Every structure is written in C-alpha cells, then in structure tokens.
Amino acid sequence: MDALASLLSQAATVMLTGMVLVFLFLSLLVGALSLLARFCAPKPAPADPAVTTAAPSPQVLAAISAAIHQHRAIEGTQQ
C-alpha cells in the first residue's frame, strides 16, 4: 500500500509539473505575440487634406443623363 501511495504522489508531482510548464510556455507565447503585434502593427497613413473631389463637368453630366434616358427607353420597350 505504501508503494501505491508513493507512485500516486510521484504521478501527481509529474502531472502538476507538466501542467505548470505548459501554462508558463503558453503565457510566454501569448505575451510574445502581443508584443510582436504591438511593435509590428502597420502604421495608419496620414490623411491628405489637399485631395478634393471636383464636381463633374456639364458635358459629363449631359452624357450620363443621355445614357440613362436611352437605357430607360430601351428597357421600357422590351417589357
């Protein structure tokens, strides 16, 4: 009976040692990945205030309006 208690005690010690080592390794891994993500994260590009959107010219608006009108006319006759 004494040998069984000794074996169980040794098994529990080996089990707890393994669990602690795995926990420490995983904790170090998470910490290393967090640091790596913090230092290697892409930097956001600064906004360029000089870029502005211009309104389309009257010729472009006329071409778009004509194309829409023609498309609606063709689609209306096919139905």
pLDDT in tens, 30-76: 999 999 999 888 888 777 766 667 788 999 999 999 999 999 988 87
Distance, CA of 36 to CA of 31 (rounded, Å): 9
Residue 68 lies in a domain: no
Q: Is the pLDDT of residue 79 over 60?
A: no
- Domains contained in the chain, number: 1
pLDDT at site 78: 65
Domain ranges, residue 12: 6-40
Q: What is the DSSP letter of 45?
A: P
pTM higher than 0.85 for the full model? no
At position 48, the amino acid (one-letter code) is D
Distance, CA of 48 to CA of 28 (rounded, Å): 40
Residue 35 lies in a domain: yes
pLDDT at site 30: 97
pLDDT at site 74: 87
Residue 60 lies in a domain: no
State the first-to-last Cα distance of the chain, in angstroms, to the nearest integer: 94
Residue 18 lies in a domain: yes
